[in-house]
Amino acid sequence: MTSLPSLPTPKKLGLVIDLDVCVGCHACVISCKEWNTGGYGAALSDQNPYGADVSGTFLNRIHTFEVVPEGGQVIGEAGEARIVHFPKSCLHCEDAPCVTVCPTGASYKRAEDGIVLVDESKCIGCGLCAWSCAYGAREMDLAAGVMKKCTLCVDRIYNETLQEIDRVPSCVRTCPANARHYGDLADPASDVSRMVAERGGYDLMPEQGTRPTNKYLPPRPRKPLAASAGSPVLAENTDGAKGFFAWLDGMLDRI
Amino acid sequence: MHPAPSIILFTTLSGMGYGLAAVLGLGLLDPTMIGTKVAYALALALISGGLLASTLHLGNPQRAWRALSQWRSSWLSREGVMAILTFAPLTFSAWLAAIEGRHVVAVGLLGTVMCGVTVYCTAMIYASLRSIQAWNTGLTPLCYLLFAAAGGLLLATAFAFVNGGNGALPAALALPALAAAWVAKNAWWTRLRMLAPLSTPESATGLGHIGHVRLFERPHINDNYLTREMGFKVARKHAAKLSKLAMLAGGALPMLLLIVAAVAGQGTLAIFAAVFAVAGYALGLVVERWLFFAEARHAVMNYYGG
């Protein structure tokens, strides 16, 4: 069970996350927790939820990074320097180490669509799969004592009782900025595959040899602030005024 | 990585237990003597205690039996299977020594080999994780095996002196084993401190083409499972001090005491020296094992600014 599927899976369902678009609102974090605490498997518990030291299980988290180019210090003044909001959930890797390290067969990758799941009735909560994941995609639920991870909302995407528009992962459905996209990355004609091809979608930590399914689209090159400051706003220039405004301009000049 | 006491206990206790069982399997101690019978019991107790300690950190220990099923892919499963299989020759050997007062070479040697394989499996659980670069080296199983051998030989030396016999042979074997173990560990530490990180915040985010990447905001204000489990860091100056302490208590001190015991030949002084050698070694090993976890940096910390 914890051996990986031998052939490339016919489908590679996954996410494409557009770092140019994400505004860091954390709506996907909340909708993910809301859907998955009542869906697949054990609830996503919180510890000390109303205390000062609250913590809990999340399958999707947003990190925010500051990217400073050589010589740049102040965001906005140094060319490409920028803040990048960075959503991160399970990447459903093709060579998923979390699957092969599992001693019980609880952790598995589906042969048909490549989704990596945990069979919670077999999980002993040893935590080794979380250790093996370089991306921090797995978190132990402290109340249930089992490992939780993104299921790609497997209980939504095939759910025919939902309207078709809702048969996508909760994070994708919720994102108000359209930064998250869901589809089959094995199909070169799919929207997500085309997006990856056009925008240069890439893998996180390729050196870990995990071959993630999920891809990230880089932020588009940005115009430095200084470039915009080059054309001063000419408040006293009335060139090109027509009709009534041309007449008014002339009249006001005369008095 | 968070140095969980249950895992530190497990690896040190079971390591010394398997070491002692392996040395007993070689037939270095006289099976008619009471000390040898106690040694067999201690080896089994250390192994069982270690295995029980390892189940303490499980979220659902009642399903632990399932961990025997995935030996094809998982080193943790292989370790569980080997640990249970190894009990067969070990308990048989213990029976032969304790009840019949004899040592059967074939059974003993089988036990020795299986002890080695089990310790190797334990080490490979850690060494196989690419996400934790400090552990991801062949030096990790080498250290685990040498530490188990050195611990077993030290314990055997103490029991040989307790038996009233001459422990010079196991002591003579323990000295090079101790030296080899700490030389290997030093190579491990040197590698760790020279290591260029495999993954960086730049490769973790893929934003390195724009510039230097640093964490601006964590996903949450407080800690989470990942930062608690993998975010443990030990200050470099303490790591350096602690590794020296481990080498002194677990290397230099036992070697000195072994020489004292061997020179004394037999009697109370030899027994005391050998027992204190074991105690110092155990302390050194716990410190070494604590550092093994506390010094290891997990790749996920690239996302958490750690």
Global confidence as pTM: 0.91
Count Cβ atoms below 10 Å from residue A254 Cβ, excluding itself: 6
Supply the mean pLDDT for chain B: 93
From B135, B157, B154, B136, select the one nearest B146 (Cα to Cα).
Answer: B154
For residue A7, being part of any structural domain is answered with no
Q: Quick one: pLDDT at residue A241?
A: 80
| Contact between residue B7 and residue B57 where contact means Cβ atoms under 8 Å apart | yes
pLDDT beyond 60 at B6:
yes
Mean pLDDT for A33-58 is 93
Q: Quick one: pLDDT at residue A88?
A: 97
From B8, B3, B42, B4, select the one nearest B23 (Cα to Cα).
Answer: B42
* CA separation for the pair B288, B244 (Å, rounded): 10
pLDDT, tens digit (0-9, with 9 covering 90-100), for A146-167: 999 999 999 999 999 999 999 9
CB contact under 8 A, B125 and A128: yes
Mean pLDDT for A65-80 is 69
With 0-12 / 13-18 / 19 or more C-beta atoms within 10 angstroms meaning exposed / middle / buried, residue B269 is middle
Q: Which of residues 204-233 of B touch A (CB under 8 A)?
A: 204-207, 209-220, 222-226, 229-230
Cβ of A205 under 8 Å from any chain B Cβ? yes
Q: Which of residues 38-57 of B touch A (CB under 8 A)?
A: 57
With 0-12 / 13-18 / 19 or more C-beta atoms within 10 angstroms meaning exposed / middle / buried, residue B109 is middle
DSSP annotation string for B30-77? -TTSHHHHHHHHHHHHHHHHHHHHHGGG-S-GGGGGGGGS-TTT-HHH
The sign of the dihedral angle between the CA atoms of A65, B237, B189, B150 is: negative
* CA separation for the pair A247, A249 (Å, rounded): 5
Q: Which of residues 183-202 of A touch B (CB under 8 A)?
A: 202
Q: Quick one: pLDDT at residue A255?
A: 84
Q: Quick one: pLDDT at residue B306?
A: 77
Reported confidence tier of residue B265, pLDDT bands at 50, 70, 90 = confident
For residue B215, the cross-strand partners are A65
* CA separation for the pair A98, A132 (Å, rounded): 6
**Running DSSP on this structure, what letter comes out for residue A202?**
B
Q: What domain range includes position A207?
A: 13-232
Mean pLDDT for B40-50 is 95
Count Cβ atoms below 10 Å from residue B182 Cβ, excluding itself: 22
pLDDT beyond 60 at B228:
yes
Mean pLDDT for B16-42 is 94
CB contact under 8 A, B58 and A208: no
* CA separation for the pair A31, A150 (Å, rounded): 12
With 0-12 / 13-18 / 19 or more C-beta atoms within 10 angstroms meaning exposed / middle / buried, residue A207 is middle
For residue A6, being part of any structural domain is answered with no
pLDDT beyond 90 at A125:
yes
Q: Quick one: pLDDT at residue A75?
A: 53
Reported confidence tier of residue A231, pLDDT bands at 50, 70, 90 = low
Say which residues have a Cβ less than 8 Å from residue B230's Cβ, sequence separation at least 6. A130, A131, A136, B1, B2, B298, B300, B301
- Residues in B closer than 8 angstroms to A128, CB to CB, are 74, 76, 125
pLDDT, tens digit (0-9, with 9 covering 90-100), for B73-103: 999 999 999 999 999 999 999 999 999 999 9
Report the amino acid identity of residue A23: V
pLDDT beyond 70 at B192:
yes
Domain count, chain A: 1
ipTM score of the complex? Answer: 0.93
| Contact between residue B50 and residue B19 where contact means Cβ atoms under 8 Å apart | no
CB contact under 8 A, A69 and B130: no
* CA separation for the pair B64, B215 (Å, rounded): 38
Mean pLDDT for A123-127 is 95
Cβ of A16 under 8 Å from any chain B Cβ? no
- Residues in A closer than 8 angstroms to B300, CB to CB, are 133-136
Report the amino acid identity of residue B105: V
pLDDT beyond 60 at A227:
yes
* CA separation for the pair A127, B59 (Å, rounded): 8
CB contact under 8 A, A139 and B225: yes
CATH topology of domain B5-207+223-303: Formate dehydrogenase/DMSO reductase fold (1.20.1630)
Report the amino acid identity of residue B248: L
Min Cα distance B291 → chain A (Å) is 17
Mean pLDDT for A70-93 is 78
pLDDT beyond 60 at B199:
yes
Min Cα distance B220 → chain A (Å) is 8
CB contact under 8 A, A135 and B217: no
Q: Which of residues 12-41 of B touch A (CB under 8 A)?
A: none
From B133, B232, B227, B230, select the one nearest A209 (Cα to Cα).
Answer: B133
CATH code of the domain containing A186:
3.30.70.20
CB contact under 8 A, B60 and A145: yes
Probe site for chain A from B82, B207, B224 (most A CB atoms < 10 A): B207
Is A60 strand, coil or helix?
strand
Cβ of A130 under 8 Å from any chain B Cβ? yes
Reported confidence tier of residue A138, pLDDT bands at 50, 70, 90 = very high
Mean pLDDT for B198-202 is 96
With 0-12 / 13-18 / 19 or more C-beta atoms within 10 angstroms meaning exposed / middle / buried, residue A161 is exposed
pLDDT, tens digit (0-9, with 9 covering 90-100), for B129-150: 999 999 999 999 999 999 999 9
- Distance between first and last Cα of chain B: 11
pLDDT beyond 60 at A1:
no
pLDDT, tens digit (0-9, with 9 covering 90-100), for B62-72: 999 999 999 99
pLDDT, tens digit (0-9, with 9 covering 90-100), for A94-116: 999 999 999 999 999 999 999 99
CB contact under 8 A, B230 and A136: yes
CA-to-CA separations, A3 to A104, B55, B70, B252, in angstroms, rounded: 11, 24, 8, 45
Instruction: List the domain boundaries for chain B.
Output: 5-207+223-303
For residue B45 the two structure tokens come to: 């107790």
Cβ of B195 under 8 Å from any chain A Cβ? no
For residue A246, being part of any structural domain is answered with no
Helices (H), chain B: 5-25, 34-54, 75-95, 105-127, 139-162, 168-194, 201-205, 225-230, 236-247, 253-264, 268-294
Reported confidence tier of residue B195, pLDDT bands at 50, 70, 90 = very high
Cβ of B77 under 8 Å from any chain A Cβ? yes
Which run of H or of E encompasses A247?
Answer: helix A243-254
Least confident of A66-70, A212-216, A247-251, B296-300: A66-70
pLDDT beyond 60 at A76:
no
Reported confidence tier of residue A39, pLDDT bands at 50, 70, 90 = confident
CB contact under 8 A, B211 and A72: yes
